[in-house]
A and B are shown apart, each in its own frame.
Chain A
Amino acid sequence: MDAESLLLSLELVSGSGQGLSPDRRASLLTSLKLVKRDYRFDRVLFWGRILGLVSDYYIAQGLSEDQLAPRKTLYSLNCMEWSLLPPATEEMVAQTSVVKGRFMGDPSHEYEHTELQKMNEGEEEVVVQIKEETRLVSVIDQIDKAVAVIPRGALFKTPFGPIHVNRTFEGLSLSEAKKLSSYFHFREPVQLKNKTLLEKADLDPSLDFMDSLEHDIPKGSWSIQMEKGNALVVLRSLLWPGLTFFHAPHSKNCGYIYVGTGEKNIDLPFML
């Protein structure tokens, strides 16, 4: 959710129970402004909160003018002092995929993982130490790639390539808001290139440049609901429980927030 309209967004997303206490709210409003100034971001998103056992990580992201350019991610434990996270790499994701369970809430905490490695003579048990910070980076990256959502038309592709916020976006209409096809993944398209020419023919190149949600695997990994008497549409990811996207139809208010344990719901096929 946009840091500028944090309070309104929090109010809108409150149906999922994911609020912030008043002191957190106030400190975020203060500190995110400073973050924007210091890091020279074009736009700052309050990304969400990862619940740890000891303390919680508050995550913010800074966007440059090109909305799909790689983002910078910051975390904070007290909502005032922000630290920059390194960009996620494939290696990090692979490395941290062995770690299960909850986050501790201490960035310097080290998970120990024993694995068998083939050495010159026979196998040997090696204890790999994984820092929680690394895990945090890779989890945020996975969530961003999997379930970050933006409504269709909120961004547009300029003829020169960069993707900008569409200032004439006036929100989805009610009937569109109930369809998954009106929402896009907020990331570089992956599946779009695999589409057939026939499917591509119907797309508007300035708007349909991202993957739509409707082809997500498994089918039914989104819950879409109208709340507050159809004044608000809420999408909840079932794959990453805790991610909530909200959009008030006919208005510009939209955004997503993640409040959860930072674990993927791999039981999804059993639960549907």
Chain B
Amino acid sequence: MEDLTSPKQEKANQDPGEAGRPWEEITAASSQSPESGLSEPLELEHGLETGPQLRRSPPQSPQSRASTPLDDLTGPGTSSPPSLPQEGSYTPSSPALTRQDLAVPWQSDKTSSVNPEAGTPHFHHLEQSSDKGELTASQTCQSEGTNFQQSLQTKHHLYGPEDVTYNNCKQKELRFNIFEEEDSNSNYDLGHTEPGVSEVAPSMLEIAIQSAKAYLLKTSSKSGLNLYDHLSDMLTKVLDERPENAVDIIESISQDVKMAHFRKKLDTLQNENEMLPTYEIAEKQRALFLQGNLEGADQELEDEIAENALPNVMESAFYFEQAGVGLGTDETYRIFLALKQLTDTHPIQRCRFWGKILGVEMNYIVAEVEFREGEDEEDVEEEEVTEERDDADSEADEDDEDELPRNFYKAPQAIPKEENRMGANKYVYFVCNEPGRPWVKLPSVTPAQIVTARKIKKFFTGRLDTPIISYPPFPGNESNYLRAQIARISAGTHVSPLGFYQFGEEEGEEEEEVEGRRDSFEENPDFEGIQVIDLVESLSNWVHHVQHILSQGRCNWFNPIQKSEEEEEEEDEEKEEEKGEETDYIEQEVGPPLLTPISEDLEIQNIPPWTTRLSSNLIPQYAIAVLRSNLWPGAYAFSNGKKFENFYIGWGHKYSPDNYTPPALPPVYQEYPSGAEITEMDDPTVEEEQAFKAAQEAAVLSAEENEETEDDEEEEDDYDQE
């Protein structure tokens, strides 16, 4: 069989143009060889060896390929049936592994060399190695490589077939190569693989080898090479050039092979833009850094306003960093720039970095803003329009006249929301998901939203239009819920050192609705500052400067029974019957007034609501006071005596040591009590009717004179009933 192949190969060498085709011929011939009896010199061995191989040759499947080297191992004399136990014995022996591994590249070369061009250089190697073959014959037998196999072939050719003692392993190698060849050819038509599966079941080892090979064949996305080809190229090069101490320069050989590799950069139709989101946000943030240069004409005016409006975010971030909270420096700076963008594009009088609320998909960066005079009236009007529309609907309902009783359940009176710049709507909040993305103004908060928000606990998703699905139905989407939580957190955790703010004297006349309570304050120009130590040691040195939100959902009490003037105007038309004349006067709800020390805050089940800390114990003279809210985890405040700032970062939820419990169901409405109006009398019996008839007749007889009038009445009744 080898006799057959080597002349063929020689022929192939002489005729490189036909290199592709002869191989197929060879393989075909090799499988036929025993029958045809062409390989006379080796018949003895072939009788032993080719038998099993032939049996396995038809499958031509990867499995059979994997089991082929096994036979090489089993040695010359032994007949080797292709059984699985032998594969097991084959596993640990490293020479077999190398041989297998190295035989495979050969095959892969061949798989790629279906086209005659690629096949040609291969045979060229063959010739080369045949020149050197005699010198290194004994080593190459033990060593490895594609060239080894080639040299084997050529050597065999040189020494002639009669040298049977030469080495059986060589022959087997050769035969193995041939089978590899067959296999690689068979890879092209899949139909051949099926019988192999039925004959030899895939073992774990084979699967492992397959997956390892697949891993090696994985093409690098950068260079387009794969390790498999690279290793085979390297070994080819080593065996071609035969350097001294090849192991020492293997790295540079590897490098050489890589450098010699040439591949045309192919044009692909698709543009590569897989990193798009990264660039997109970078592009947006670039605008933040460039905005300073944009202003041209009225720069001075803008600057004047901007100076007032823009908070010094970096300074407070520095202090918060001392306290161990806050965002990273670069993110803070981006937010700072984003705030500048906000103040430049809106008529903003005062701006503050409120904090960051974490969401499941995206986060919210929140800015607290006070508009200058002449802010957004338009959306106030819009809301009034919608309210009127609601009224119109209810009136239309009333116009229908029908006999059936109407539903006289009236929804509890909606508590109107507070005016802009008042109470919980004192500030306007802008949010964005990331600095650089556009700021979105949150709608103003309504008491109903606050009341409901107190009863639910939901994670923010990061998309403002997400519906909030909860048990007490939440009136609004996530933007409203976010706004309600911001209002609650602000009311609970915005604190300042005692004396920093004082009540504004001149604004008294504005507060008409609030009897005896003041809801505005101004900075105290004579504020002296407080010792940091005092701020840490006593909670009474900190005061709330945001109004407490009543359980009604408003900061300022709204009496739902005696309506305020505007309300009356709206609802005058609607109904007169049950006006607020009923005497049950609801007592006005009162919360702690403004500028109440936080030492009066309620405890949460023996847990103090605030924790104070000195930022550094090592250098107390330059430390700052840090205040941490235990009620709203994530809310912090610092003060260095003169300055202070509040900051929130967290999930936007209130702390409670107990589990969240959904609110209880509303009471079930009792049915109408069974009374005189509900129950009916029994039907009149015959006796009763007869008695009644007799009585009537008696009455008729006795009162002849009144007859006419009674008849009239009866007639009228009948008429009515019809």
Contact = CB atoms under 8 A, between A and B. Distances in A.
Interface of A: 11, 14-24, 51, 53-54, 78, 100-102, 174, 220, 223, 225-226, 228-231, 236, 238, 241, 260-261, 263, 266-267, 270-272
A229 B331 contact: no
B117 interface: no
Given A53-B607, A223-B361, A230-B281, A20 B633 contact: no
A17 B278 contact: no
Interface string B614-650: 0111110000000010100110000000000000011
B76 to A, nearest CB: 34
A69 to B, nearest CB: 28
A229 B285 contact: yes
Contacts of A272: 458-459
Given A19-B326, A223-B359, A229-B285, 8 more contacts: A17-B327, A21-B616, A22-B321, A174-B274, A220-B360, A230-B277, A260-B633, A270-B456
A102 B630 contact: yes
Chain B interface, >50% SS class: loop
A74 B362 CA distance: 34
B284 to A, nearest CB: 9
16 contacts: A16-B358, A17-B650, A20-B324, A22-B322, A101-B605, A102-B607, A102-B630, A223-B360, A223-B361, A225-B363, A230-B277, A231-B278, A260-B633, A267-B659, A270-B457, A271-B459
Interface string B74-86: 0000000000000
The 6 closest A-B pairs by CB, nearest first: A14-B328, A17-B649, A267-B660, A229-B281, A21-B324, A230-B278
Contacts of B358: 16, 223, 236
B275 interface: yes
Contact of B325 (A17, A220, A267): A17
Contacts of A14: 326-328, 331
Interface in B587-631: 605-608, 611, 615-619, 628, 630
B356 A17 contact: yes
A261 B363 CA distance: 21
B662 A270 contact: yes
Contact of A53 (B281, B605, B608, B619): B608
Contacts of A19: 321, 324-326, 328
Contacts of A238: 360, 459
Contacts of A100: 657-658
Nearest to A78: B617
Given A22-B321, A230-B278, A238-B360, A102 B285 contact: no
A226 B277 contact: yes
Interface string B432-458: 001000000000000000000000111
Given A225-B361, A270-B660, A230 B633 contact: no
B590 to A, nearest CB: 30
Contacts of A23: 616, 618-619
A57 to B, nearest CB: 14
B322 A15 contact: no
B427 interface: no
Contacts of A20: 324
B562 to A, nearest CB: 38
B651 interface: yes
Contacts of B651: 241
Contacts of A11: 328-329
A228 B660 contact: no
A266 B281 CA distance: 36
A181 to B, nearest CB: 18
A17 to B, nearest CB: 3
Nearest to A201: B207
A23 B328 CA distance: 16
Interface string B349-391: 0000000101111110000000000000000000000000000
Nearest to A226: B277
A223 to B, nearest CB: 4
Contacts of A53: 607-608, 611, 630
Contacts of A271: 457-459, 653, 660
A109 to B, nearest CB: 13
A184 B484 CA distance: 37
Contacts of B634: 17
B205 interface: no
Contacts of A15: 327-328, 331, 363
Contacts of A18: 325
Contacts of B274: 174
A258 to B, nearest CB: 14
Given A17-B634, A223-B360, A267 B457 contact: yes
A231 to B, nearest CB: 7
Contacts of B456: 270
A21 B657 contact: no
Contacts of A78: 617
B457 A101 contact: no
Contacts of A102: 607, 630, 657
A21 B327 contact: no
B282 interface: yes
A228 B277 CA distance: 11
A178 to B, nearest CB: 10
B323 interface: yes
B250 to A, nearest CB: 19
Nearest to A205: B208
A205 to B, nearest CB: 9
A53 B655 CA distance: 13
A51 B281 CA distance: 35
A53 B607 CA distance: 8
Contacts of B611: 53-54
Contact of A261 (B616, B633, B649): B633
Nearest to B608: A53
Contacts of A174: 274-275
Interface string B307-328: 0000000000000011111111
Interface string B278-318: 10011001000000000000000000000000000000000
B662 A229 contact: no
A21 B277 CA distance: 33
Contacts of B657: 100-102, 263
Interface string B447-491: 000000000111100000000000000000000000000000000
A261 B615 CA distance: 19
B214 to A, nearest CB: 12
A172 B658 CA distance: 39
Nearest to B284: A229
A112 to B, nearest CB: 12
A267 B608 CA distance: 23
Contacts of B630: 53, 102
A271 B653 CA distance: 10
A14 to B, nearest CB: 3
Nearest to B281: A229
A234 to B, nearest CB: 10
A266 B328 contact: no
A51 B628 CA distance: 10
B321 A21 contact: yes
A39 B488 CA distance: 48
Nearest to A53: B611
Interface string B418-438: 000000000000000010000
Contacts of B607: 53, 101-102
Interface in B650-681: 650-651, 653, 655, 657-660, 662
Nearest to A20: B324
A1 B606 CA distance: 34
Contacts of B608: 53
Given A53-B611, A229-B277, A21 B363 contact: no
Contacts of B658: 100
Q: Which of A53, A78, A266 has the most CB of B within 10 A?
A: A53
A16 B331 CA distance: 11
A236 B361 CA distance: 10
Contacts of B662: 270
Contacts of A228: 331
